[in-house]
């Protein structure tokens, strides 16, 4: 008698460890998931919002220990984005609260036409990018803290590219820890439609 044993390959299922779609009434109260670290943030039309006027920062209240994770978010900036000191950044891997916290960031610098990946003030990678004011963009960060690999994908409206927009290997902060947004400058508004970490 012959016994056939079929082994079914299962794909790794990622579980959501943090999510916010900001789908709640307009308010200066951001809800329990967030803490304002600099500037004024609010909820407007179901989106996280701030108006640039110096340094602004907002961070997740929860610190997460995941070392393999994917962070995705959808955002747009409106107004006069291209002034010299303007910058928008998604932060992750942070160990402290505050605008100058440790960790990584994916930052867009309009005056340079650059999207850059940094660890604190160390550049890890950069790419030439021009974001159009008012247009929605999606950003995805894929992190393997065990190997140090960080891959960043920018969807400019046609889906994520096959190859990463930014890529680096760095092992300084393997855990996801705290997520956050920061912005610098004046003359524009930032809107975040949603953010999810798996």
Task: Render 40-57 in DSSP notation, one character per residue.
Answer: -EEEETTEEEEEEEEEEE
Residue 2 lies in a domain: no
Q: For the whole model, what pTM was predicted?
A: 0.89
The total domain count for the chain is 1
Rounded CA gap, 15 and 141, in Å? 16
Residue 121 lies in a domain: yes
Residue 13 lies in a domain: no
- The three-state secondary structure class of 105 is strand
Rounded CA gap, 150 and 83, in Å? 29
> Which CATH number fits the domain that encloses residue 70?
2.60.120.560
Residue 64 lies in a domain: yes
pLDDT, one tens digit per residue, over 121-179 is 899 999 999 999 999 999 999 999 999 999 999 998 889 999 999 999 999 999 999 99
Residue 176 lies in a domain: yes
Other C-beta atoms closer than 10 Å to the C-beta of 56 total 22
């Amino acid at each position: 008698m012959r016994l056939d044993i079929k082994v079914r390959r299962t794909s790794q299922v990622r579980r959501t460890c943090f999510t916010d779609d900001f789908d709640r009434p307009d308010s200066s109260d951001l809800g329990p998931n967030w803490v304002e670290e600099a500037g004024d943030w609010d909820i407007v039309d179901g989106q996280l919002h701030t108006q640039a006027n110096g340094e602004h920062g907002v961070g997740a209240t929860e610190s997460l220990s995941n070392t393999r994770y994917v962070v995705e978010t959808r955002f747009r900036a409106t107004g006069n984005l291209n002034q010299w000191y303007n910058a928008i950044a998604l932060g992750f891997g942070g160990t402290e609260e505050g605008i100058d916290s440790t960790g990584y960031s994916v930052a867009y610098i309009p005056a340079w036409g650059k999207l850059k990946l940094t660890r604190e003030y160390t550049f890890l990678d950069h790419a030439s990018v021009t974001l159009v004011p008012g247009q929605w963009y999606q950003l995805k960060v894929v992190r393997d803290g065990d190997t140090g690999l960080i891959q960043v994908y920018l969807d400019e409206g046609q889906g994520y590219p096959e190859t990463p927009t930014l890529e680096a290997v760095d092992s300084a902060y393997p855990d996801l820890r705290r997520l956050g947004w920061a912005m610098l400058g004046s003359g524009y508004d930032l809107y975040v439609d949603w953010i999810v970490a798996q």
